[in-house]
């Protein structure tokens, strides 16, 4: 499932979108991983990047995190 949060949304709207994932059962106790991807652009440096955050839960309930950064050619 994918949830899109536009930069034009307020913080309250973004939080509501994320809370809706839990309310509608897309994120629950059986969820093993959540991936957050977004794009950043710096016009002053003409620099584009795409950070990716991974939150993964083991069967024992531990949560592992991983961050990566993709910089298009």
pLDDT tens for 27-53 read 888 889 999 888 888 899 898 999 999
Calculate mean pLDDT across residues 18-24.
Answer: 88
Residue 70 confidence (pLDDT): 84
Q: What three-state secondary structure class fits 7?
A: coil
Residue 69 confidence (pLDDT): 92
**Separation between Cα atoms, residue 37 and residue 23, nearest integer Å:** 21
Question: Of 45 and 1, which is predicted with more confidence?
Answer: 45
Q: How far is CA 55 from the centre of its chain?
A: 9
């Amino acid at each position: 499932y994918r949830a899109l949060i536009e930069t034009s949304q307020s913080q309250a709207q973004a939080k509501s979108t994320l809370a809706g994932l839990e309310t509608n059962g897309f994120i629950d106790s059986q969820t093993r991983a959540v991936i957050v991807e977004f794009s950043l652009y710096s016009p002053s440096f003409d620099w584009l990047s795409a950070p990716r955050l991974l939150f993964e839960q083991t069967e024992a309930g531990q949560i592992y995190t991983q961050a990566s950064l993709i910089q298009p050619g």
